């Protein structure tokens, strides 16, 4: 049965379930000092070097600020599994996470509308990916290594809807 437990005014507000005097199950916790909110699943508190901490586990939404939040899967206080992160600068990442970093297949939407679709490893673009420059009407398909494009092709893509066209279109090659 959920209930509200308050310790001090500086302590986070916690609404949720308990098991063996530990936070466990569905919870909502609000940190008053930062305004951050976590709404999701928690697991029994664990001990590490005599210090108690709580582990975020399962699926939930965590608000870093009014405009930045993560919604998705958690494992051991870290974003892991499928999830979506809205950043303060207007960017959005949707895809796979591992240990708080983009890892696996994902889509990064930049604030200006451009986007990258491809494979991530340890928070960086790795292997095949496509970068859509929608503002210029171009598509760059490339092989990436540690966030750097190593080789690829640039082609026109959606030039008719582009806001900031390049001066010259890429010429077509005849067979």
Per-10-residue mean pLDDT of the chain, 175 residues long, equals 46 73 75 63 54 60 86 85 95 96 96 94 95 89 93 84 73 71
End-to-end CA gap in the chain: 71
What lies within 8 Å, CB to CB, of 88 at 6+ separation is 64, 65, 67, 68
Q: Please answer whether residues 73 and 79 qualify as being in contact, where contact means their C-beta atoms are separated by less than 8 angstroms.
A: yes
Report which of 35, 32, 38 is spatially closest to residue 15, judged by C-alpha positions.
Answer: 38
Residue 95 falls within a domain, yes or no? no
The confidence score (pLDDT) of residue 81 equals 93
Q: Which long-range contacts (CB under 8 A, 24 or more apart) does 47-53 make?
A: 53/77
The confidence score (pLDDT) of residue 99 equals 93
The confidence score (pLDDT) of residue 49 equals 37
- Tally of domains within the chain: 2
Q: Does 4 share its domain with 84?
A: yes
Q: Residue 72, class by beta-carbon neighbours within 10 Å (0-12 exposed, 13-18 middle, 19+ buried)?
A: buried
Residue 100 falls within a domain, yes or no? no
Q: Does 3 share its domain with 76?
A: yes
Q: Does 82 share its domain with 1?
A: yes
Q: Please answer whether residues 135 and 114 qualify as being in contact, where contact means their C-beta atoms are separated by less than 8 angstroms.
A: yes
Last residue of a domain, one of 35, 54, 88: 88
Q: Does 29 share its domain with 71?
A: yes
Expressed as residue numbers, the domain containing 26 is 1-88
Residue 1 falls within a domain, yes or no? yes
Residue 156 falls within a domain, yes or no? yes
Q: Does 76 share its domain with 112?
A: no
Q: Does 39 share its domain with 120?
A: no
Q: Which residues of 42-61 are buried (b: 16+ CB within 10 A; e: fewer)?
A: bbeeeeeeeeeebbbbeebe
The confidence score (pLDDT) of residue 33 equals 59
Residue 97 falls within a domain, yes or no? no
The confidence score (pLDDT) of residue 102 equals 96
Report which of 98, 158, 103, 150 is spatially closest to residue 128, judged by C-alpha positions.
Answer: 150
């Amino acid at each position: 049965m959920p209930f509200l437990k308050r310790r001090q005014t500086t302590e986070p507000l916690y609404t949720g379930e308990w098991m063996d005097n530990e936070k466990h199950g569905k919870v909502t916790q609000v940190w008053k000092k930062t305004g951050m909110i976590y709404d999701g699943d928690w697991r029994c508190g664990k001990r590490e070097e005599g210090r108690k901490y709580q582990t975020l586990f399962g699926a939930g939404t965590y608000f870093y600020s009014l405009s930045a939040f993560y919604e998705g899967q958690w494992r051991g206080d870290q974003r892991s599994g499928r999830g979506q992160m809205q950043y303060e600068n207007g960017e959005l990442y949707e895809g796979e996470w591992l240990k708080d970093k983009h890892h696996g297949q994902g889509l990064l939407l930049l604030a200006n509308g451009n986007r990258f679709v491809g494979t991530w490893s340890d928070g960086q673009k790795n292997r095949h990916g496509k970068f859509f420059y929608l503002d210029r009407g171009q598509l760059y398909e490339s092989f990436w290594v540690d966030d750097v494009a190593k080789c690829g092709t640039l082609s026109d893509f959606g030039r008719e809807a582009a806001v900031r066209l390049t001066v010259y279109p890429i010429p077509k090659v005849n067979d």
